[in-house]
Amino acid sequence: MAKTTTAKIKEAIAETIDKTTHLDVARATQAIAKSLGLKDRLINYTHIELRNKLNEYGYKSAPYNKRILFLPHCLRNSKECKAISGDEGFECQRCGKCDIDKLISMAEDLGYAKIFIAPGGSMVKKLILEYKPKAVLGVCCYNEANLAFDMLRGTGIHGQTSMLLQDGCKDTKAHLADAKEKMEAIDQNLLLANNSLEEGPTQKNLPNGNSKQLKK
């Protein structure tokens, strides 16, 4: 079966990182885009996948029960959603009329510590500060993905993002297969190696606050 464009992008990213000691993400993105003749949306996808790859090692070393999944509120079915807005985002009522129910089920089956439907980046930052996960996965648009990576830089928290198939302000669509792949990504050898290390991220670049650190 012929490889998909996204599969080719991932292979090109891996090769670029392997060959480049000091990686300029923007420059590398343009080089890959030019070599594959990509359109704007796929250029954005390539940029995010580069940043994912650079953070993949640490992310795969975090057990599922030390991870948080963040979902965007724009995934909700705007006409039929009955989610309740609370202090930690929206509380899904599991009606099954949007992708959120499927994504929650995937994360729950794996044993993710927390799942939040966030109305924006400020809420995400607040929840990361409170719960102090080892890793986070965000389903989001291109701009939010870049902001998330920038926010996590230097904190010791490892992030991955799964870009929306269809973005916008409402009734968006998740790339369920990609989200599932990133949710499941783990390296058992890294987990074993990290068992003897001190648990929890450094949080050195996040302000102090009331911590609800995830249980061991």
pTM, 2 dp: 0.82
User: What's the pLDDT at 22?
Assistant: 43
Residue ranges of domains in the chain: 5-194
Q: Which amino acid is at 148?
A: A
Query: What is the C-alpha to C-alpha distance for residues 18 and 65, in angstroms, rounded to an integer?
Result: 30
Q: For the chain of 216 residues, list the mean pLDDT of each consecutive stretch of 10.
A: 70 64 72 89 90 90 96 96 95 96 98 96 93 97 92 90 90 97 92 63 52 66
Spacing of C-alpha 198 from chain mean position: 24
The percent of the chain in helix, strand and coil, each rounded to the nearest 5, is 50, 15, 40
User: What's the pLDDT at 27?
Assistant: 83
User: What's the pLDDT at 162?
Assistant: 97
